[in-house]
Structure 1
Amino acid sequence: MFRVPFLVAVSLSIAFGVGILITRSAISRSSGFSALTLGAWQAYPKAQTSEADPYARNHRAKATGLLLGSAEGLVFYADNDDAGEALVGGCTYRVSGKVPQARFWTLSITNAANAPLTNRPGLPAALNAQSVLYDNDGTLTVSVSQNPQAGNWLSVPPIGHYRLAFTLFDTPVAGSSGLLDLSMPTIVREGCGDA
């Protein structure tokens, strides 16, 4: 007598539970559909606008830091190098190339939740437009490694995955309608461990 209603209740509970878990997973893994991808770098220029899709709005609602409007700037994130391999602390990377037009920019090391990472006090975990040395042709070259490097260097913890955050302030890239020739610096793995 109670067998059929019990089985229906169990089936509905499982269906709702699995549906909620899948929905939460899909929402938490995406920052939106309007991604601007340049090499290994990815940004979401519409995330802070009224044109944002539901995933971007959810990402914005959960964000803990200060979010930039489209007129203020744009943050590009890189979780992988240009070959598609994850950025890990035991390897040395070279970030090089031309920086998109911006009034000011920062390059920093963060974790997956975009919280700043520091290796040891006193070591550089972030660089900005005024603290770097540019190459003769106006391009930028930064070494990202746990070991000190000559020139521009970002220090990372020796193990674990991290991401690079390239923040462009007051840039036409944020409101670009595809009229600009956009490019970001490349991220190339130079070696891992003592190799």
Structure 2
Amino acid sequence: MSESSLLASPFLHSNSGIHSDSFYASLIGSSTHKSQLRQIHARLFVLGLQLSSLLITKLIHASSSFGDIRFARKVFDDLPRPQIFPWNAIITGYSRNNLFQDALLMYSKMQLARVSPDSFTFPHLLKACSGLPHLQMGRLVHAQVLRLGFEADGFVQNGLIALYAKCRRMGSARTVFEGLPMSERTVVSWTAIVSAYAQNDTGCLKVGTS
């Protein structure tokens, strides 16, 4: 029986002992409609799996990918003490659905909860800063990136360059780019800085050797 068939089958609601985190993670990944995710979420409560960080994170990602951000937030709020993965998932969900203010608000809540961000937190957070755009918040995020040592991450760097380009701060965008040695400049970083110059119509990018 295929996973898609299982989603519509009474087997999903049985007491079969094969149900596990990996089983439901697979079902979440193969869901094709938000109603299926709601069925799975209800079943997790029956099985006592509703606090599984893996499954909740996957549910948040899947729900937000269907545009059902309200349900994603409900799933998140059911966690008594969410760790970094669900926090990243809900911030990403808001950002991907262009709810940039909500993404920044969730980041503030994460800080109040004393959950430390990781490198996966910042790209979508920076996208939210760019989307508003909110230069002041972006600079605060940049300061935290530097403090935590994530400035060499290609996706974080891309987000920083995009933020400064959107806010027409090409000097800052160039500083971010040149902060990496030539040997560590990837296709991602080159694409980001070239796109920034093109977006601001500021002429050619002159490449240094430092």
TM-score band by shorter chain is under 0.3
Q: TM-score, normalised by structure 2?
A: 0.25
The structure showing larger relative contact order (alpha-carbon pairs under 8 Å, at least 6 residues apart) is 1
What TM-score, normalized by structure 1, do the two folds share?
Answer: 0.26
Greater helix content? 2
